[in-house]
Structure 1
Protein backbone atom coordinates (compact mmCIF):
# COMPACT_ATOMS: atom_id res chain seq x y z
CA UNK A 1 0.00 0.00 0.00
CA UNK A 2 2.87 2.37 0.81
CA UNK A 3 4.39 1.78 -2.64
CA UNK A 4 1.05 2.65 -4.26
CA UNK A 5 0.78 5.89 -2.26
CA UNK A 6 4.36 6.79 -3.17
CA UNK A 7 3.55 6.25 -6.86
CA UNK A 8 0.54 8.57 -6.58
CA UNK A 9 2.60 11.20 -4.79
CA UNK A 10 5.16 11.20 -7.60
CA UNK A 11 2.40 12.10 -10.07
CA UNK A 12 1.06 14.97 -7.94
CA UNK A 13 3.83 17.53 -8.07
CA UNK A 14 4.66 21.20 -7.97
CA UNK A 15 6.79 21.64 -11.09
CA UNK A 16 7.43 25.33 -10.37
CA UNK A 17 6.57 26.55 -13.88
CA UNK A 18 5.81 30.23 -14.38
CA UNK A 19 2.45 31.35 -15.71
CA UNK A 20 4.15 32.43 -18.94
CA UNK A 21 5.71 29.01 -19.43
CA UNK A 22 2.40 27.25 -18.73
CA UNK A 23 0.73 29.49 -21.32
CA UNK A 24 3.52 28.77 -23.81
CA UNK A 25 3.15 25.02 -23.37
CA UNK A 26 -0.64 25.23 -23.63
CA UNK A 27 -0.31 27.15 -26.90
CA UNK A 28 2.17 24.57 -28.22
CA UNK A 29 0.63 21.26 -27.16
CA UNK A 30 -3.07 22.14 -27.17
CA UNK A 31 -3.26 22.58 -30.97
CA UNK A 32 -1.32 19.33 -31.41
CA UNK A 33 -3.99 17.48 -29.44
CA UNK A 34 -6.67 19.26 -31.48
CA UNK A 35 -5.06 18.03 -34.70
CA UNK A 36 -4.93 14.45 -33.43
CA UNK A 37 -8.52 14.79 -32.21
CA UNK A 38 -9.63 15.81 -35.70
CA UNK A 39 -8.05 12.65 -37.10
CA UNK A 40 -10.24 10.34 -35.03
CA UNK A 41 -13.55 10.92 -36.84
CA UNK A 42 -11.66 11.06 -40.15
CA UNK A 43 -10.31 7.56 -39.53
CA UNK A 44 -13.91 6.39 -39.11
CA UNK A 45 -15.49 8.34 -41.97
CA UNK A 46 -12.83 8.48 -44.69
CA UNK A 47 -13.42 6.68 -47.96
CA UNK A 48 -9.97 7.48 -49.30
CA UNK A 49 -8.45 5.05 -51.78
CA UNK A 50 -5.53 2.71 -51.26
CA UNK A 51 -2.79 5.13 -52.35
CA UNK A 52 -4.12 8.02 -50.27
CA UNK A 53 -4.42 5.85 -47.17
CA UNK A 54 -0.88 4.54 -47.59
CA UNK A 55 0.44 8.08 -48.05
CA UNK A 56 -1.46 9.33 -45.00
CA UNK A 57 -0.02 6.52 -42.91
CA UNK A 58 3.48 7.45 -44.04
CA UNK A 59 2.90 11.02 -42.86
CA UNK A 60 1.54 9.75 -39.54
CA UNK A 61 4.53 7.47 -39.09
CA UNK A 62 6.83 10.44 -39.66
CA UNK A 63 4.89 12.49 -37.11
CA UNK A 64 5.11 9.70 -34.55
CA UNK A 65 8.86 9.45 -35.09
CA UNK A 66 9.27 13.19 -34.52
CA UNK A 67 7.09 13.29 -31.41
CA UNK A 68 8.68 10.17 -29.96
CA UNK A 69 12.22 11.53 -30.01
CA UNK A 70 11.78 13.16 -26.60
CA UNK A 71 9.02 11.95 -24.31
CA UNK A 72 8.27 11.13 -20.69
CA UNK A 73 7.96 7.54 -19.53
CA UNK A 74 5.10 8.13 -17.06
CA UNK A 75 1.57 9.59 -17.03
CA UNK A 76 1.11 13.35 -16.91
CA UNK A 77 -0.48 13.19 -13.47
CA UNK A 78 -1.51 16.38 -11.69
CA UNK A 79 0.92 19.28 -11.90
CA UNK A 80 0.71 22.73 -10.34
CA UNK A 81 2.83 25.77 -9.65
CA UNK A 82 3.30 28.08 -6.68
CA UNK A 83 0.20 30.06 -7.71
CA UNK A 84 -1.98 26.94 -7.40
CA UNK A 85 -2.53 26.66 -11.16
CA UNK A 86 -3.46 22.97 -11.44
CA UNK A 87 -2.99 21.13 -14.73
CA UNK A 88 -4.50 17.73 -15.51
CA UNK A 89 -3.51 17.79 -19.17
CA UNK A 90 -3.48 14.01 -19.52
CA UNK A 91 -7.03 13.58 -18.21
CA UNK A 92 -9.17 11.39 -20.48
CA UNK A 93 -12.21 13.68 -20.21
CA UNK A 94 -10.80 17.20 -20.22
CA UNK A 95 -7.03 17.00 -20.62
CA UNK A 96 -5.62 19.74 -22.85
CA UNK A 97 -3.05 17.30 -24.26
CA UNK A 98 -5.37 14.29 -24.56
CA UNK A 99 -6.92 13.92 -28.00
CA UNK A 100 -9.80 11.73 -26.79
CA UNK A 101 -10.94 14.26 -24.17
CA UNK A 102 -14.43 15.52 -25.12
CA UNK A 103 -14.71 18.40 -22.62
CA UNK A 104 -12.87 21.66 -23.14
CA UNK A 105 -13.99 23.30 -19.90
CA UNK A 106 -16.15 22.62 -16.87
CA UNK A 107 -18.01 25.71 -15.68
CA UNK A 108 -18.85 26.47 -12.05
CA UNK A 109 -21.92 28.38 -10.88
CA UNK A 110 -22.11 30.21 -7.52
CA UNK A 111 -24.70 27.71 -6.26
CA UNK A 112 -22.21 24.85 -6.63
CA UNK A 113 -23.54 23.46 -9.90
CA UNK A 114 -20.92 22.43 -12.45
CA UNK A 115 -21.77 22.08 -16.12
CA UNK A 116 -20.31 21.65 -19.58
CA UNK A 117 -21.55 21.91 -23.14
CA UNK A 118 -19.67 19.49 -25.37
CA UNK A 119 -19.71 17.67 -28.70
CA UNK A 120 -19.33 13.92 -29.21
CA UNK A 121 -18.21 13.00 -32.72
CA UNK A 122 -18.59 9.69 -34.53
CA UNK A 123 -15.56 8.26 -32.72
CA UNK A 124 -17.73 7.97 -29.59
CA UNK A 125 -20.42 5.85 -31.23
CA UNK A 126 -21.95 2.85 -29.46
CA UNK A 127 -25.43 1.92 -30.69
CA UNK A 128 -25.81 3.02 -34.32
CA UNK A 129 -25.84 6.82 -34.45
CA UNK A 130 -25.72 7.20 -30.68
CA UNK A 131 -23.18 7.67 -27.90
CA UNK A 132 -21.61 4.62 -26.29
CA UNK A 133 -22.97 4.16 -22.78
CA UNK A 134 -19.46 3.91 -21.38
CA UNK A 135 -18.62 7.32 -22.80
CA UNK A 136 -21.62 8.79 -20.97
CA UNK A 137 -20.30 7.20 -17.78
CA UNK A 138 -16.84 8.64 -18.47
CA UNK A 139 -18.19 12.17 -18.81
CA UNK A 140 -20.51 11.92 -15.81
CA UNK A 141 -17.76 10.50 -13.60
CA UNK A 142 -15.71 13.62 -14.34
CA UNK A 143 -18.59 16.04 -13.82
CA UNK A 144 -19.73 14.46 -10.57
CA UNK A 145 -16.18 14.32 -9.26
CA UNK A 146 -15.68 17.97 -10.09
CA UNK A 147 -18.92 18.88 -8.31
CA UNK A 148 -17.65 17.09 -5.20
CA UNK A 149 -14.39 19.04 -5.41
CA UNK A 150 -16.11 22.38 -5.94
CA UNK A 151 -18.37 21.56 -3.00
CA UNK A 152 -15.34 21.22 -0.76
CA UNK A 153 -15.19 17.40 -0.66
CA UNK A 154 -12.74 16.24 -3.35
CA UNK A 155 -12.37 12.50 -3.64
CA UNK A 156 -12.01 9.37 -5.71
CA UNK A 157 -15.00 7.57 -7.23
CA UNK A 158 -16.45 5.03 -4.81
CA UNK A 159 -19.61 4.18 -6.72
CA UNK A 160 -21.21 5.53 -9.87
CA UNK A 161 -24.81 4.55 -10.65
CA UNK A 162 -26.33 5.44 -14.02
CA UNK A 163 -29.86 5.34 -15.36
CA UNK A 164 -30.08 5.43 -19.15
CA UNK A 165 -33.43 7.09 -19.74
CA UNK A 166 -33.18 7.36 -23.52
CA UNK A 167 -30.50 6.86 -26.19
CA UNK A 168 -27.91 9.63 -26.08
CA UNK A 169 -27.37 11.07 -29.56
CA UNK A 170 -24.00 11.96 -30.96
CA UNK A 171 -23.42 15.68 -31.46
CA UNK A 172 -23.98 18.62 -29.11
CA UNK A 173 -24.79 17.67 -25.51
CA UNK A 174 -25.03 19.25 -22.06
CA UNK A 175 -23.89 17.75 -18.78
CA UNK A 176 -24.20 19.01 -15.23
CA UNK A 177 -23.79 17.87 -11.62
CA UNK A 178 -24.12 19.14 -8.06
CA UNK A 179 -23.10 18.02 -4.61
CA UNK A 180 -26.11 16.71 -2.68
CA UNK A 181 -24.62 16.06 0.77
CA UNK A 182 -21.56 14.81 2.64
CA UNK A 183 -21.15 12.15 5.31
CA UNK A 184 -17.67 12.11 6.78
CA UNK A 185 -15.21 11.40 3.96
CA UNK A 186 -18.03 10.61 1.52
CA UNK A 187 -19.56 13.10 -0.91
CA UNK A 188 -22.90 12.24 -2.54
CA UNK A 189 -23.36 13.84 -5.96
CA UNK A 190 -26.05 13.79 -8.65
CA UNK A 191 -25.95 14.78 -12.30
CA UNK A 192 -27.15 14.13 -15.83
CA UNK A 193 -26.46 14.44 -19.55
CA UNK A 194 -29.11 15.95 -21.79
CA UNK A 195 -29.52 16.24 -25.55
CA UNK A 196 -31.88 18.12 -27.85
CA UNK A 197 -34.85 16.10 -26.56
CA UNK A 198 -34.21 16.21 -22.83
CA UNK A 199 -32.31 14.20 -20.24
CA UNK A 200 -30.69 11.05 -21.60
CA UNK A 201 -28.63 9.74 -18.67
CA UNK A 202 -28.91 10.37 -14.94
CA UNK A 203 -26.16 9.59 -12.45
CA UNK A 204 -25.55 9.33 -8.72
CA UNK A 205 -22.07 8.97 -7.32
CA UNK A 206 -20.25 8.61 -4.02
CA UNK A 207 -16.78 10.14 -3.91
CA UNK A 208 -14.44 9.27 -1.07
CA UNK A 209 -11.70 11.59 0.15
CA UNK A 210 -8.44 9.62 0.00
CA UNK A 211 -5.70 9.59 2.59
CA UNK A 212 -3.14 11.10 0.20
CA UNK A 213 -3.19 14.81 -0.84
CA UNK A 214 -5.80 15.83 -3.40
CA UNK A 215 -6.49 19.03 -5.24
CA UNK A 216 -8.14 21.76 -3.22
CA UNK A 217 -10.99 24.02 -4.32
CA UNK A 218 -8.91 26.35 -6.46
CA UNK A 219 -9.69 26.63 -10.16
CA UNK A 220 -7.79 23.97 -12.11
CA UNK A 221 -9.74 24.49 -15.35
CA UNK A 222 -8.09 27.69 -16.56
CA UNK A 223 -5.75 25.83 -18.91
CA UNK A 224 -7.32 22.38 -18.70
Structure 2
Protein backbone atom coordinates (compact mmCIF):
# COMPACT_ATOMS: atom_id res chain seq x y z
CA UNK A 1 0.00 0.00 0.00
CA UNK A 2 2.85 2.40 0.77
CA UNK A 3 4.20 2.19 -2.79
CA UNK A 4 0.74 2.73 -4.33
CA UNK A 5 0.15 5.72 -2.05
CA UNK A 6 3.57 7.14 -2.92
CA UNK A 7 2.91 6.81 -6.65
CA UNK A 8 -0.59 8.26 -6.34
CA UNK A 9 0.72 11.25 -4.39
CA UNK A 10 3.45 11.86 -6.97
CA UNK A 11 1.00 11.56 -9.87
CA UNK A 12 -1.44 14.01 -8.30
CA UNK A 13 1.41 16.48 -7.82
CA UNK A 14 2.41 15.98 -11.46
CA UNK A 15 -1.12 16.48 -12.76
CA UNK A 16 -1.58 19.56 -10.59
CA UNK A 17 1.70 21.00 -11.88
CA UNK A 18 0.77 20.18 -15.48
CA UNK A 19 -2.44 22.25 -15.35
CA UNK A 20 -0.89 25.19 -13.51
CA UNK A 21 2.57 25.43 -15.08
CA UNK A 22 3.70 28.41 -17.11
CA UNK A 23 7.03 26.97 -18.31
CA UNK A 24 8.01 27.11 -21.97
CA UNK A 25 7.87 24.52 -24.78
CA UNK A 26 11.34 23.11 -24.06
CA UNK A 27 10.45 22.28 -20.47
CA UNK A 28 7.08 20.87 -21.52
CA UNK A 29 8.71 18.52 -24.04
CA UNK A 30 11.25 17.38 -21.43
CA UNK A 31 8.43 16.68 -18.97
CA UNK A 32 6.51 14.77 -21.67
CA UNK A 33 9.54 12.56 -22.29
CA UNK A 34 9.81 11.78 -18.57
CA UNK A 35 6.10 11.01 -18.43
CA UNK A 36 6.42 8.58 -21.35
CA UNK A 37 9.27 6.78 -19.59
CA UNK A 38 7.18 6.41 -16.43
CA UNK A 39 4.23 5.16 -18.48
CA UNK A 40 6.41 2.48 -20.07
CA UNK A 41 7.38 1.20 -16.61
CA UNK A 42 3.75 0.90 -15.51
CA UNK A 43 2.54 -0.70 -18.74
CA UNK A 44 4.68 -3.79 -18.14
CA UNK A 45 1.78 -5.46 -16.29
CA UNK A 46 -1.80 -4.20 -16.57
CA UNK A 47 -5.12 -5.56 -15.28
CA UNK A 48 -8.20 -5.76 -17.51
CA UNK A 49 -11.53 -4.08 -16.68
CA UNK A 50 -13.50 -6.14 -14.19
CA UNK A 51 -10.47 -7.44 -12.29
CA UNK A 52 -10.01 -5.80 -8.91
CA UNK A 53 -6.54 -4.48 -8.04
CA UNK A 54 -4.54 -6.64 -5.61
CA UNK A 55 -4.85 -4.05 -2.83
CA UNK A 56 -8.61 -3.60 -3.11
CA UNK A 57 -10.38 -5.12 -0.12
CA UNK A 58 -14.19 -4.91 -0.15
CA UNK A 59 -14.47 -6.16 3.43
CA UNK A 60 -12.08 -3.45 4.66
CA UNK A 61 -13.86 -0.82 2.51
CA UNK A 62 -10.74 -0.21 0.37
CA UNK A 63 -10.80 0.89 -3.30
CA UNK A 64 -7.32 2.20 -3.98
CA UNK A 65 -7.98 3.64 -7.46
CA UNK A 66 -11.40 5.21 -6.88
CA UNK A 67 -11.55 8.56 -8.73
CA UNK A 68 -12.92 10.13 -5.54
CA UNK A 69 -11.23 8.39 -2.59
CA UNK A 70 -8.42 6.33 -4.12
CA UNK A 71 -4.97 6.96 -2.67
CA UNK A 72 -3.47 5.50 -5.85
CA UNK A 73 -5.54 7.58 -8.26
CA UNK A 74 -3.93 10.43 -10.18
CA UNK A 75 -7.24 12.31 -10.39
CA UNK A 76 -8.85 11.70 -6.98
CA UNK A 77 -8.67 14.63 -4.51
CA UNK A 78 -8.62 12.07 -2.63
CA UNK A 79 -11.45 12.41 -0.12
CA UNK A 80 -11.46 10.73 3.28
CA UNK A 81 -15.03 9.93 4.29
CA UNK A 82 -16.02 9.99 7.95
CA UNK A 83 -19.18 9.41 9.91
CA UNK A 84 -20.96 12.73 10.51
CA UNK A 85 -22.12 13.39 14.10
CA UNK A 86 -25.19 15.04 12.54
CA UNK A 87 -25.93 11.81 10.66
CA UNK A 88 -24.65 10.29 7.44
CA UNK A 89 -21.11 10.93 6.18
CA UNK A 90 -18.91 13.93 5.54
CA UNK A 91 -15.59 14.82 3.94
CA UNK A 92 -13.37 17.88 3.72
CA UNK A 93 -11.43 18.90 0.63
CA UNK A 94 -9.61 21.79 -0.99
CA UNK A 95 -9.79 21.40 -4.77
CA UNK A 96 -7.31 22.83 -7.27
CA UNK A 97 -7.07 23.77 -10.93
CA UNK A 98 -7.39 20.18 -12.14
CA UNK A 99 -11.11 20.43 -11.38
CA UNK A 100 -11.71 23.91 -12.79
CA UNK A 101 -14.78 24.75 -14.86
CA UNK A 102 -15.53 28.49 -14.86
CA UNK A 103 -12.29 30.35 -14.06
CA UNK A 104 -11.63 30.03 -10.35
CA UNK A 105 -14.54 27.66 -9.70
CA UNK A 106 -15.26 23.94 -9.62
CA UNK A 107 -16.52 22.22 -12.78
CA UNK A 108 -20.19 21.33 -12.37
CA UNK A 109 -19.54 17.77 -13.50
CA UNK A 110 -17.04 17.34 -10.68
CA UNK A 111 -19.73 18.38 -8.22
CA UNK A 112 -21.86 15.59 -9.68
CA UNK A 113 -19.08 13.02 -9.26
CA UNK A 114 -18.44 14.03 -5.66
CA UNK A 115 -22.12 14.08 -4.74
CA UNK A 116 -22.81 10.72 -6.38
CA UNK A 117 -20.02 9.23 -4.30
CA UNK A 118 -21.06 10.92 -1.04
CA UNK A 119 -24.68 9.89 -1.45
CA UNK A 120 -23.69 6.31 -2.20
CA UNK A 121 -21.37 6.30 0.81
CA UNK A 122 -24.18 7.60 3.02
CA UNK A 123 -26.40 4.71 1.96
CA UNK A 124 -23.60 2.23 2.59
CA UNK A 125 -22.87 3.80 5.98
CA UNK A 126 -26.51 3.09 6.87
CA UNK A 127 -26.15 -0.54 5.74
CA UNK A 128 -28.06 0.00 2.49
CA UNK A 129 -26.10 -1.14 -0.58
CA UNK A 130 -27.38 0.15 -3.90
CA UNK A 131 -26.53 1.61 -7.29
CA UNK A 132 -27.38 5.10 -8.53
CA UNK A 133 -30.79 5.15 -10.22
CA UNK A 134 -31.36 8.92 -10.15
CA UNK A 135 -29.16 11.88 -9.25
CA UNK A 136 -30.30 15.50 -9.26
CA UNK A 137 -28.19 18.57 -8.43
CA UNK A 138 -29.30 22.10 -7.63
CA UNK A 139 -26.42 24.53 -8.24
CA UNK A 140 -27.11 27.39 -5.84
CA UNK A 141 -23.75 29.10 -6.19
CA UNK A 142 -20.32 28.52 -7.74
CA UNK A 143 -17.95 26.34 -5.71
CA UNK A 144 -14.60 28.15 -5.30
CA UNK A 145 -11.27 26.46 -5.89
CA UNK A 146 -8.48 26.67 -3.32
CA UNK A 147 -10.96 27.04 -0.46
CA UNK A 148 -11.64 24.37 2.19
CA UNK A 149 -14.97 22.68 1.46
CA UNK A 150 -17.24 20.42 3.47
CA UNK A 151 -19.23 17.72 1.67
CA UNK A 152 -22.08 15.82 3.32
CA UNK A 153 -24.40 12.94 2.48
CA UNK A 154 -27.29 11.44 4.46
CA UNK A 155 -30.16 8.99 4.05
CA UNK A 156 -33.63 10.51 3.97
CA UNK A 157 -35.71 7.33 3.74
CA UNK A 158 -35.60 3.67 2.73
CA UNK A 159 -38.30 1.37 1.39
CA UNK A 160 -37.38 -2.11 0.24
CA UNK A 161 -34.69 -1.95 -2.43
CA UNK A 162 -34.97 1.86 -2.77
CA UNK A 163 -33.03 4.39 -0.68
CA UNK A 164 -33.55 8.15 -0.99
CA UNK A 165 -30.39 10.10 -0.16
CA UNK A 166 -29.41 13.78 -0.06
CA UNK A 167 -26.17 15.72 0.16
CA UNK A 168 -24.52 19.10 -0.08
CA UNK A 169 -21.31 21.00 -0.80
CA UNK A 170 -20.48 24.18 1.11
CA UNK A 171 -17.45 26.25 2.05
CA UNK A 172 -16.04 25.07 5.37
CA UNK A 173 -16.20 28.59 6.80
CA UNK A 174 -19.89 28.91 5.84
CA UNK A 175 -21.29 25.37 6.15
CA UNK A 176 -24.91 26.52 6.33
CA UNK A 177 -24.68 28.34 2.98
CA UNK A 178 -25.17 25.42 0.59
CA UNK A 179 -23.54 25.86 -2.81
CA UNK A 180 -24.62 22.52 -4.29
CA UNK A 181 -27.62 20.51 -3.09
CA UNK A 182 -28.03 16.92 -4.30
CA UNK A 183 -30.78 14.34 -4.07
CA UNK A 184 -30.55 10.78 -5.29
CA UNK A 185 -32.26 7.42 -5.46
CA UNK A 186 -30.13 4.32 -4.94
CA UNK A 187 -31.55 0.90 -5.73
CA UNK A 188 -30.31 -2.56 -4.82
CA UNK A 189 -30.48 -4.54 -8.09
CA UNK A 190 -32.52 -7.71 -8.24
CA UNK A 191 -30.48 -10.92 -8.05
CA UNK A 192 -30.73 -11.62 -11.78
CA UNK A 193 -29.48 -8.12 -12.62
CA UNK A 194 -26.63 -8.41 -10.14
CA UNK A 195 -25.58 -11.60 -11.90
CA UNK A 196 -25.74 -9.89 -15.29
CA UNK A 197 -23.93 -6.70 -14.22
CA UNK A 198 -21.07 -8.35 -12.35
CA UNK A 199 -20.71 -11.79 -13.93
CA UNK A 200 -17.11 -11.11 -15.00
CA UNK A 201 -15.85 -9.29 -11.88
CA UNK A 202 -12.94 -11.09 -10.21
CA UNK A 203 -10.38 -10.38 -7.53
CA UNK A 204 -6.67 -10.21 -8.33
CA UNK A 205 -6.42 -14.01 -8.06
CA UNK A 206 -9.18 -14.54 -10.61
CA UNK A 207 -11.94 -15.52 -8.16
CA UNK A 208 -15.45 -14.29 -8.94
CA UNK A 209 -16.02 -11.33 -6.59
CA UNK A 210 -19.29 -9.50 -7.30
CA UNK A 211 -20.38 -6.66 -5.00
CA UNK A 212 -23.41 -7.37 -2.91
CA UNK A 213 -22.93 -6.16 0.65
CA UNK A 214 -22.82 -2.66 2.12
CA UNK A 215 -19.09 -3.16 2.66
CA UNK A 216 -18.38 -3.56 -1.04
CA UNK A 217 -18.18 0.00 -2.27
CA UNK A 218 -16.29 2.64 -0.33
CA UNK A 219 -14.56 3.45 2.93
CA UNK A 220 -16.02 5.44 5.80
CA UNK A 221 -13.56 6.18 8.59
CA UNK A 222 -14.70 6.40 12.23
C-alpha distance 141-222 of structure 1, shift in aligned 2 (>3 A): closer
| Count of paired positions | 196
Asked if residue 33 in structure 1 is aligned to residue 8 in structure 2, the reply is: yes
Asked if residue 146 in structure 1 is aligned to residue 121 in structure 2, the reply is: yes
CA separation in 2, counterparts of 1:60 and 1:117? 30
**SS class of match (1:174):** strand
Determine the structure 1 residue equivalent to 2:47: 72
Q: Give per-residue Cα distances to partners, 1:2-26, cap 9 Å, x unaligned.
A: xxxxxxxxxxxxxxxxxxxxxxxx1
Q: Give per-residue Cα distances to partners, 1:141-175, cap 9 Å, x unaligned.
A: 00000101111211000101111111111122110
CA separation in 2, counterparts of 1:144 and 1:178? 7
Whether the 8 Å contact between 1:37 and 1:99 is mirrored in structure 2 is: yes
**What's the RMSD between the two structures over aligned residues?**
2.2
Whether the 8 Å contact between 1:89 and 1:95 is mirrored in structure 2 is: yes
State the TM-score, normalized to the length of structure 1.
0.80
Asked if residue 214 in structure 1 is aligned to residue 212 in structure 2, the reply is: yes
Determine the structure 2 residue equivalent to 1:176: 152
**SS class of match (1:105):** coil
Q: Give per-residue Cα distances to partners, 1:114-160, cap 9 Å, x unaligned.
A: 00001211010011110001100100100000101111211000101
Structure 1 residues not aligned, in runs of 5+: 1-25
CA separation in 2, counterparts of 1:220 and 1:167? 27
When structure 1 is superposed on structure 2, of 84-93 and 168-177 the one drifting more is 84-93
